[in-house]
Amino acid sequence: MSELVLNSESLNNVLDNREISRENILEIYQNSQKDPNELFTTSQILRKKYKGNIVTFSKKAFFNIVNLCRDSCSYCTYKAEPGEEKLSLMSKQQIIELLDMAKKYRCVEALFVTGEQPEQRYHEAREWLKENGFSSTSEYLIYASEIALEKGLFPHTNAGNLNFDEMKELKKTNVSMGLMLENISERLTENGMPHHLASSKRPKARLEILENSGRLHIPMTTGILVGIGETIEEIIDSLLVIKQLHQKYGNIQEVILQNFQPKEDTRMKNEPSADEKYFKTIVALSRIIMPEMNIQIPPNLSPDSYQSFLSVGINDWGGISPLTPDFVNPEFAWPQISSVDENSKNAGFDLKGRFPIYPEFSSFISKDLQEKMKEIQDEDGLVKEEYWR
């Protein structure tokens, strides 16, 4: 039994390790609209219980391999069209040069990002692949991952809806992979909604990939986008689906909560960014829905207040790069690692560097990959402090 007794029976149940229903979660949310303190207190207790006073991050280099994409999301500024200045088609040589630079900066993670199956829509993507000696984007990613490992970096691939065989192949070199669920709502794919022109964002399509990652025992990062016109029920349902996947396969290593920020060159440029009070409530709800989960927000998307999210339940800052911009949110620069360290300390937390895989998931990857990590690994399975600082 928890010693603390709250007014909310549902929150008391959470603290006593009892399962709560969707209705309970909705009721907790509604009560928090009048006064969020009990929810925030509960999320803080759970965070401390399961994560102590540590907050982690991954020191990374962002490889914008190809940003042609067959989808069109109404909030995305990452996607480029042929001929645009921001178009990225990295050659083998550019990948190798950036890997060498990343090693010099003592980055740990090589984050490989691509648009959604660009070769299906653009002959420019097919030509680029051919010039580099590949027939598909996933083949190129396998090559890039092998080179990264040789150079002492650890790949994490985020390339949209890869199929089962592609993921199986990438598992050999990637310590983890990522795919944002974004939201489970079919409504958000209807005409006029953010995912209308993005077939890969159909909930069924995303869930199939996440199911495959479970079947393949791949440590998986997923998450939701907050503030794109969803209802609170749709948020709760999305979080519950992630929880169910993790209960079934045990492979969801981290949940990203990403707050929507409008972008100049998109259809949603005049929509307001996610309200901070609402966003904090979602963060706290995520912690009570999944008490033991690693939960992160990107610090560059809440630049003035990100450290205050530590007190509502997060325990990770995701990838931060000393070298490359956030190509998905280019207008938001990464904070300096030293200032993240200082702000975390001031909030009462110790910053630690991690691999793109959390220590508790290391049994999911091959002995070979585990061995490679040992060179810069401390006794807790994190990155040696003298390496990342």
What's the rounded mean pLDDT across residues 347-351? 95
pLDDT of residue 56: 98
pLDDT of residue 84: 85
Q: How is domain 47-388 classified at the architecture level of CATH?
A: Alpha-Beta Barrel (3.20)
Per-residue pLDDT band at 101 (split at 50, 70, 90): very high
Helix and strand totals (H; E) in the chain: 13, 9
Spans of all domains in the chain: 47-388
What's the rounded mean pLDDT across residues 46-73? 91
User: How far is the C-alpha of 228 from the C-alpha of 167, rounded, in Å?
Assistant: 29
Strands 109-114 and 154-158: parallel
pLDDT of residue 371: 97
pLDDT beyond 60 at 57: yes
User: How far is the C-alpha of 228 from the C-alpha of 196, rounded, in Å?
Assistant: 13
pLDDT of residue 176: 98
pLDDT in tens, 162-216: 999 999 999 999 999 999 998 888 677 767 766 666 666 788 888 999 999 999 9
Which residues, other chains included, contact 215 with Cβ-Cβ below 8 Å and sequence gap of 6+?
Answer: 164, 249
pLDDT of residue 83: 84
Strands (E) across 72-173 are located at: 109-114, 154-158
Per-residue pLDDT band at 329 (split at 50, 70, 90): confident
Residue 218 C-alpha from the chain's centroid: 14
Specify whether the CB–CB gap between 352 and 56 falls below 8 A: yes
Per-residue pLDDT band at 69 (split at 50, 70, 90): confident
Q: What is the CA radius of gyration of the chain?
A: 20
Three-state secondary structure along 243-299? HHHHHHHCCEEEEEEEECCCCCCCCCCCCCCCCHHHHHHHHHHHHHHCCCCCEECCH
pLDDT of residue 303: 84
pLDDT of residue 255: 98
What's the rounded mean pLDDT across residues 70-92? 78
Per-residue pLDDT band at 73 (split at 50, 70, 90): low
Q: Which of 74-78, 289-293, 308-312 has the least mean pLDDT?
A: 74-78
* Predicted structure pTM score: 0.94
pLDDT of residue 312: 94
pLDDT beyond 60 at 1: no
pLDDT of residue 184: 85
Q: CA 39 → CA 45, 53, 108, 113, 180, distances in Å? A: 10, 19, 35, 35, 25
pLDDT in tens, 125-148: 999 999 999 999 999 999 999 999
Tokens 């409504």: give the residue.
187
Bigger pLDDT: 72 vs 159: 159
Mean per-residue pLDDT over the chain, rounded: 91
pLDDT beyond 90 at 11: yes
